[in-house]
Amino acid sequence: MKSIVVVGSQWGDEGKGKITNYLASKADVIIRYQGGDNAGHTVIFNNNEYHLRSIPSGIFYEDKLNIMGNGMVINPLSLAKEMEELLASGYSLNNLVISPLATLDLSYHIALDGLKEKALKDKNIGTTKKGIGPTYTDKAERSSLRMVDFIDPDFANLYKTKLLEKNKLIEFYGGEPISYEDTISDYLKARELILPHVKETVSLLAKLRKENKKILFEGAQGTMLDVDFGTFPYVTSSNTIAGGALSGSGIGLGYIDGAIGIIKAYTTRVGEGPFVSEFENETADKIREIAHEYGVNTHRPRRIGWLDLVQLKYSKNVNGFEYGALTLLDVFSHLDEIKVCVAYEVNNQKIDYLPSSLKTLYQAKPIYKTFKSFKGVDISNIKKFEDLPIEAKEYIKFIEEYLEIKFVIISTGRDKDQTIIREDIF
Ligand code: IMO
Ligand code: MG
């Protein structure tokens, strides 16, 4: 494939960072097409651990172009901070391009995110409080500032006008108005750092297409957090599905060959909302500790559940992936048995599709198939699929048959080397 979309197939935190980093090593160009600094990708590069929030995972490869696409919402201050950290680690960032059409996530969006969540009380979404929802709201409302405005010499005035307008809304929600004087200097400082990277990307992508460059589209969050297809309203505000790669980058139809779904061997979610295969017991706690299932961004403990094939089939259908990357399989070295949700029970009826109604989803009970695990067997150094314990292979085969996909990458540990490459697709 000359061009592929990496997509989270559950609720985010599937281990996209590691897989994207591997695929990025084979790409010429890496593009982020949606979301903002609500994402948290852990990338281990040359034995150093980096937490990327908005910069694409290919940034560590100085010879590869990294594009922050128009579909993104960008907080200039957190981007500048991320850039400074990378610069301090010795990366040049000459390989970073930012779309002028990306939307700005600014001080008042962040304030409003927190205030709106508070106003929702027990119906809150559990957002990352990074301003994502309010920023995309402004985009849909056609009132937001974009990167083109950020690089405009008149940015300070544009910001001031918006801020004064938004301060009324902040006060409506019972918040403290934000001072222009206190905030503008940080933006102007960040602007100096960001300005040289803002370049028109549509013609750039067209040129890269013509040159037959290998392009990797890096998704953030996951399918069930998609604003259209996720468990609305407990979702993020962007199209996280593979289709988002088109509207979020401007590549045009026809160049993307396929998608790879990142599937964690079990399920996690942070924030509120229905989660059919969730369970809370000692095993869940064990998984959380072993796999360090705490948010990169918010440090919240993640909710834990078994793999849900009903949800994953839905995910496969909306994304259209034929290939999968299975992550965190090594966690099962610590468990006696593994469960997989194969259908839902709703009103004493068995269903095998994801209900659209949240009410129904809350009522749905998981129907499980139980597998024996490979407790005590360390799989972290296995390099070939054939060498995996029989229990692991059976688990994998079952998922593959149910979803009609092939796992081409299997992650057996945190390190880059702890990976089984079953087939080279990119
Ligand atoms: P990565 O890229 C997991 C969740 C939040 C909340 C909902 C809305 O690391 O997989 P938002 O701040 O986006 O308005 O929050 O979405 N959420 C994530 N959950 N991983 C993420 O990113 C997430 N980004 C947002 O917890 O439920
Ligand atoms: Mg994450």
Ligand 1 atom closest to Cα of 40? Answer: 9
**The tokens of 336 are what?**
């006696």
Ligand 1 atom closest to Cα of 133? Answer: 14
Alpha carbons 7 and 165: distance in angstroms, whole number: 37
pLDDT, residue 291, reads: 97
Residue 222 CA, ligand 1 centroid: distance in Å: 8
Tell me if 236 CB under 6 Å of ligand 1: yes
Q: How far apart are the first and last CA of the chain?
A: 5
Tell me if 221 CB under 6 Å of ligand 1: yes
User: Which among 32, 112, 130, 225 is the best mutation to test ligand 1's pocket, defined by most ligand atoms within 8 Å of the CB?
Assistant: 225
pLDDT, residue 255, reads: 96
Catalytic choice (13, 113, 138, 226) = 13
pLDDT, residue 284, reads: 98
User: Which among 38, 224, 263 is the best mutation to test ligand 1's pocket, defined by most ligand atoms within 8 Å of the CB?
Assistant: 38
Catalytic choice (28, 37, 41, 330) = 41
Burial 92-126 (b: 16+ CB within 10 A, else e): ebebbbbbbbbbbbbbbbbbbbbbbbeeeeeeebb
Could you count the other beta carbons within 10 Å of the beta carbon of residue 309? 22
Q: Is 424 part of the annotated catalytic residue set?
A: no
Residues in a beta bridge with 263: 326
Helix axis angle, 155-172 to 107-120, nearest 10° = 10
Query: Half-sphere exposure of 180 toward its Cβ, with a 13 Å CA cutoff?
Result: 13
Residue 229 CA, ligand 1 centroid: distance in Å: 15
Cα–chain-centroid distance for residue 4?
A: 16
Ligand 1 atom closest to Cα of 268? Answer: 3
Query: Helix (H, G, I), strand (E, B), or coil: what is residue 58?
Result: helix
Alpha carbons 236 and 250: distance in angstroms, whole number: 21
Tell me if 27 CB under 6 Å of ligand 1: no
Query: Half-sphere exposure of 421 toward its Cβ, with a 13 Å CA cutoff?
Result: 9
pLDDT in tens, 235-255: 999 999 999 999 999 999 999
Residue 26 CA, ligand 1 centroid: distance in Å: 27
Alpha carbons 26 and 357: distance in angstroms, whole number: 41
Alpha carbons 425 and 26: distance in angstroms, whole number: 10
Residue 350 CA, ligand 1 centroid: distance in Å: 30
pTM of the model: 0.97
Q: Which of these, 98, 425, 41, 421, lies nearest to 218 by C-alpha position?
A: 41
Residue 81 CA, ligand 1 centroid: distance in Å: 20
Tell me if 263 CB under 6 Å of ligand 1: no
Alpha carbons 179 and 367: distance in angstroms, whole number: 54
pLDDT, residue 42, reads: 82
Residues in a beta bridge with 52: 41
Specify whether the CB–CB gap between 283 and 275 falls below 8 A.
no
pLDDT, residue 296, reads: 79
User: DSSP characters for 64-98?
Assistant: SEEEE-TTBEE-HHHHHHHHHHHHHTT---TTEEE
Tell me the helices (H) and strands (E) count for the chain, helix number first.
Answer: 13, 19
Alpha carbons 295 and 185: distance in angstroms, whole number: 30
Tell me if 413 CB under 6 Å of ligand 1: no
Specify whether the CB–CB gap between 34 and 136 falls below 8 A.
no
**The tokens of 35 are what?**
């979301």
Specify whether the CB–CB gap between 220 and 37 falls below 8 A.
no
Tell me if 112 CB under 6 Å of ligand 1: no
Residue 298 CA, ligand 1 centroid: distance in Å: 10
Specify whether the CB–CB gap between 256 and 1 falls below 8 A.
no
List the residue whose alpha carbon is closest to atom 23 of ligand 1.
221
Tell me if 12 CB under 6 Å of ligand 1: yes
Question: Using omega within 30 degrees of 0 as the cis cutoff, is the peptide bond preceding 233 cis?
Answer: yes
> What is the dihedral angle through the alpha carbons of 244, 245, 251, 252, rounded to the nearest 10 degrees?
-50
Tell me if 130 CB under 6 Å of ligand 1: yes
Alpha carbons 26 and 400: distance in angstroms, whole number: 25
pLDDT, residue 47, reads: 85
**The tokens of 135 are what?**
């920023």
Read off the amino acid at residue 360: T
Alpha carbons 222 and 316: distance in angstroms, whole number: 12
pLDDT, residue 43, reads: 84
Q: Which of these, 15, 6, 2, 3, lies nearest to 319 by C-alpha position?
A: 6
Ligand 1 atom closest to Cα of 130? Answer: 12
Ligand found nearest the CA of 227: 1
Give how far Cα 77 sits from Cα of 189, 303, 387, Å. Answer: 9, 30, 47
Residue 227 CA, ligand 1 centroid: distance in Å: 11
Alpha carbons 256 and 242: distance in angstroms, whole number: 10
| pLDDT < 50 positions in the chain | none
Q: Is 109 part of the annotated catalytic residue set?
A: no
pLDDT, residue 405, reads: 98
pLDDT, residue 298, reads: 82
